């Protein structure tokens, strides 16, 4: 095969090359030429402006490499299961004697960078697996994989796969960090930090259930009809349109809209400067009351409802039957409070009977 | 400094009396105007409160504007005050704290609070 200018190719041939390069058909010519030059450099193709069989081969190799990356996660369990059956007949295999794919599959399961090397991170994780699964050392083969070890690794893989399925965004961030060689220590620190801020995996599920249960329990003594499940995002968007710069409701859990069928006596806290006796956001008295019957302190309430200003007073808020109200969990707002309190609002209705109740303790 | 006093529904300003439909709840003086907020203090029922309940009165005792003229929509104001820069702050029932430049009759900012 000789050589030909890209521009002399038929449109279907050009499309095929662009597909191989994963570039859109309307790509700017200079981007395409840059990409071809980069491939020539990577695959040691002689520098010229033509398409030849060497460049075509480079494009194919590049595409195959990408396909391998894209299907890698699907192949990991196959490598691990295959390794398990091999180990059953060999009793153990040293990590360094495994195929590169098997080593990378183990590294994926152990949540370290998948480079195939027996590096310090991989060694540390293999040591940790042996400790946590009580797997004895094999004399002279510190990093050998035996039947117990591959079972433990497969368990770790299943945990990681399940976690990634439940936490797609965080998993994508981690994958980005790994693929860009940002380093295990850094991304471990990021994950540790994130998990200290937000519940992750099973802890997240438990927290959501706890929040839903808090709402259900809070509604149990209120007579209402027409309960509609909303999202916190719906309510937050609604209040944003009313001038609330920070979202009042905790995201990612349900919120509800109900229509009261009887009057209900809520309360409201306010500072008398930025917020007043009469207003939209209310709560149940029991939710600002301690177990001994005393009121929570102003600071505790500020934190529980993520209020910008320290409240000073409590008002009774008698909300009449037929009022449509919203309820959900107060969201955390950095610098204001951690939220978590069961919160109601009047859905912007001009209603309610508000009267001063008492001062709040400091 | 405007010479004024108020009692019940009546604002007396330089000897002239102005009768409002409800009791005067609070008053601030800014830019040669007396800003009056009226409120039905006999009840906490929001539906029995007067809407558009903030007025500006000049030193001749003339009502020169209602806050609705500046905000551009109906509102029920639960407090008025001046901030440290002498801007009028009007707290509306929905939660907005409007910041109003009285001199130029303009809303210059605002934010809602829970």
Residue with tokens 């796969």: A161
Q: Is the pLDDT of residue A334 over 60?
A: yes
Q: Based on the domain organization, do A16 and A45 belong to the same domain?
A: yes
CB within 8 Å of chain A, chain B residues 59-88: 76, 78-79, 81
Q: Based on the domain organization, do A247 and A306 belong to the same domain?
A: yes
Question: What gap in Å lies between CA A185 and CA A113, rounded to an integer?
Answer: 10
The better pLDDT of the pair A270, A171 is held by: A270
Q: Which of A274, A310, A326, A352 to mutate to test the interface with B (most CBs of B within 10 A)?
A: A274
With cut-offs at 50, 70 and 90, classify the pLDDT of residue A183.
low
Q: Is the pLDDT of residue A193 over 70?
A: yes
How confident is the prediction for chain A on average, in pLDDT?
90
Give me the pLDDT at residue A336, please: 95
Q: Looking at A197, A215, A237, which one is the last position of a domain?
A: A197
Question: What gap in Å lies between CA A40 and CA A47, rounded to an integer?
Answer: 7
Q: Based on the domain organization, do A288 and A191 belong to the same domain?
A: no
- Asked if A273 reaches chain B (Cβ–Cβ under 8 Å), the answer is yes
Asked, for residue A99, whether it belongs to a domain, the answer is no
Residue ranges making up the domain that contains A43? 4-51
Q: Based on the domain organization, do A171 and A217 belong to the same domain?
A: no
Indicate the domain borders of chain B: 4-112
Nearest residue in B to A279, CA atom:
B93
Q: Cβ of A340: how many Cβ atoms within 10 Å?
A: 19
Chain A residues in contact with B76 by the CB 8 A cut-off are: 350
Contacts of residue B76, Cβ cutoff 8 Å, sequence gap at least 6: A350, B46, B49, B50, B51, B52, B53, B92, B93
Q: Is the pLDDT of residue A2 over 90?
A: no
Give me the pLDDT at residue A178, please: 67
With cut-offs at 50, 70 and 90, classify the pLDDT of residue A173.
confident
The 10s digit of each residue's pLDDT in A115-130 is 899 998 899 999 999 8
- Any idea what DSSP says for residue B1? -
- Asked if B47 reaches chain A (Cβ–Cβ under 8 Å), the answer is yes
Mean per-residue pLDDT for A88-92?
Answer: 81
Chain B residues in contact with A288 by the CB 8 A cut-off are: none
Give me the pLDDT at residue A275, please: 97
Give me the pLDDT at residue B83, please: 95
The 10s digit of each residue's pLDDT in A216-228 is 999 999 999 999 9
- State whether B114 and A248 contact (CB < 8 Å): yes
Q: Based on the domain organization, do A193 and A209 belong to the same domain?
A: no
Q: Is the pLDDT of residue A24 over 70?
A: yes
Nearest residue in A to B79, CA atom:
A276
How confident is the prediction for chain B on average, in pLDDT?
96
Mean per-residue pLDDT for A77-98?
Answer: 91
What is the total count of domains within chain A? 3
Q: What is the 3-state secondary structure (H, E, C) of chain A?
A: CCCEEHHHCCHHHHHHHHHHCCCCCCCCHHHHHHHHHHHHHHCCCCCCCEECHHHHHHHHHHHHHHHHHHHHHHHHHHHHHHHHHHHHHHCEEEHHHCCHHHHHHHHHHCCCCCCCCCCHHHHHHHHHHHHHCCCCCECCECCEEEHHHHHHHHHHHHHHHHHHHHCHHHHHHHHHHHHCCCCHHHHHHHHHHHHHHCCCCHHHHHHHHHHHHHHHHHHCCCCEEEEEEEEHHHHHHHHHCCCCCCCCECCCCEEEEEEECCCEEEEEEECCCCCCCCCCEEECHHHHECCCCCECCHHHHHHHCCCCCCCCEEEEEEECCCCEEEEEEECCECCCECCCCEEEECCCCCCCEEEEEEECCC
Chain A residues in contact with B47 by the CB 8 A cut-off are: 350-351
Q: Cβ of A349: how many Cβ atoms within 10 Å?
A: 18
Asked, for residue A106, whether it belongs to a domain, the answer is no
Q: Based on the domain organization, do A226 and A307 belong to the same domain?
A: yes
With cut-offs at 50, 70 and 90, classify the pLDDT of residue A209.
confident
Q: Based on the domain organization, do A211 and A192 belong to the same domain?
A: no
Chain A residues in contact with B39 by the CB 8 A cut-off are: none
Q: Based on the domain organization, do A221 and A297 belong to the same domain?
A: yes
- Asked if A239 reaches chain B (Cβ–Cβ under 8 Å), the answer is yes
Chain A residues in contact with B91 by the CB 8 A cut-off are: 274-276
Chain B residues in contact with A350 by the CB 8 A cut-off are: 46-47, 76, 93
Chain B residues in contact with A275 by the CB 8 A cut-off are: 91, 95, 113-114
Q: Based on the domain organization, do A216 and A193 belong to the same domain?
A: no
Q: Based on the domain organization, do A184 and A253 belong to the same domain?
A: no
Q: How many Cβ pairs closer than 8 A exist between chain A and B? A: 71
The 10s digit of each residue's pLDDT in A140-153 is 888 999 999 999 99
Mean per-residue pLDDT for B79-102?
Answer: 97
Question: What gap in Å lies between CA A54 and CA A327, rounded to an integer?
Answer: 66
The 10s digit of each residue's pLDDT in B10-36 is 999 999 999 999 999 999 999 999 999
Q: Based on the domain organization, do A255 and A311 belong to the same domain?
A: yes
- Asked if A237 reaches chain B (Cβ–Cβ under 8 Å), the answer is no
Q: Is the pLDDT of residue A19 over 80?
A: yes
Closest by Cβ to B44, choosing from A243, A350, A355: A355
The 10s digit of each residue's pLDDT in A244-280 is 999 999 998 899 999 999 999 999 999 999 999 999 9
Asked, for residue A308, whether it belongs to a domain, the answer is yes
Asked, for residue A126, whether it belongs to a domain, the answer is no
């Amino acid at each position: 095969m000789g050589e030909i200018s890209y521009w002399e190719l038929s449109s279907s041939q050009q499309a095929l090359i662009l597909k191989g390069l994963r570039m859109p058909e309307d790509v700017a010519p200079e981007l395409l030429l840059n990409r071809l030059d980069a491939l020539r450099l990577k695959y040691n193709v002689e520098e010229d402006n033509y398409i030849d069989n060497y460049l075509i081969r480079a494009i194919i190799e590049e595409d195959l490499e990408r396909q391998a990356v894209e299907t890698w996660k699907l192949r990991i369990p196959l490598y691990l299961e295959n390794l398990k059956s091999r180990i059953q007949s060999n009793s153990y295999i040293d990590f360094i004697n495994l195929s590169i794919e098997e080593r990378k599959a183990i590294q994926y399961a152990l949540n370290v960078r998948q480079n195939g090397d027996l590096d310090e991170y991989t060694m540390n994780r293999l040591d940790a697996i042996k400790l946590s699964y009580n797997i004895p050392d094999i004399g002279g083969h510190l990093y050998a994989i035996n039947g117990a070890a591959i079972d433990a690794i497969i368990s770790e893989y299943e945990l990681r796969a399940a976690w990634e399925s439940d936490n797609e965004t965080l998993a994508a961030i981690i994958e980005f960090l790994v693929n860009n060689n940002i380093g295990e220590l850094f991304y471990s620190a990021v994950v540790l930090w994130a998990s200290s801020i937000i519940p992750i995996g099973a802890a997240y599920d438990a927290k959501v259930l706890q929040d839903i249960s808090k709402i259900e329990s809070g509604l149990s003594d209120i007579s209402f009809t027409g309960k509609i499940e909303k999202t916190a995002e719906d309510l937050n968007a609604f209040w944003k349109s009313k001038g609330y710069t920070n979202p009042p409701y905790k995201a990612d859990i349900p919120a509800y809209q109900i229509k009261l069928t009887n009057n209900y006596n809520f309360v409201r806290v306010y500072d008398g400067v930025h917020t007043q006796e009469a207003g939209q956001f209310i709560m149940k008295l029991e939710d600002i009351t301690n177990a001994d019957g005393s009121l929570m302190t102003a600071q505790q309430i500020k934190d529980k409802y993520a209020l910008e200003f320290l409240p000073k007073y409590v008002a009774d808020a008698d909300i009449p039957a037929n009022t449509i109200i919203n309820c959900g969990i107060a969201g955390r707002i950095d610098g204001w409070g951690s939220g978590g309190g069961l919160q109601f609002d009047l859905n912007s209705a001009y209603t309610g009977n508000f009267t001063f109740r008492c001062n709040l303790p400091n | 400094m405007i010479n004024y006093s108020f009692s019940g529904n009546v604002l007396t300003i330089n000897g002239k009396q102005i009768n409002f439909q409800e009791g005067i709840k609070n008053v601030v003086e800014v830019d040669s105007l007396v800003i009056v907020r009226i409120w039905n203090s006999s009840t906490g029922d929001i539906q029995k409160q007067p809407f558009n309940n903030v007025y500006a009165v000049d030193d001749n005792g003339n009502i020169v504007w209602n806050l609705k003229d500046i905000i551009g929509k109906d509102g029920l104001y639960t407090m008025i005050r001046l901030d440290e820069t002498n801007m009028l702050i009007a707290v509306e029932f929905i939660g907005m704290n409007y910041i109003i430049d009285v001199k130029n009759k303009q809303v210059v900012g605002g934010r809602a609070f829970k």
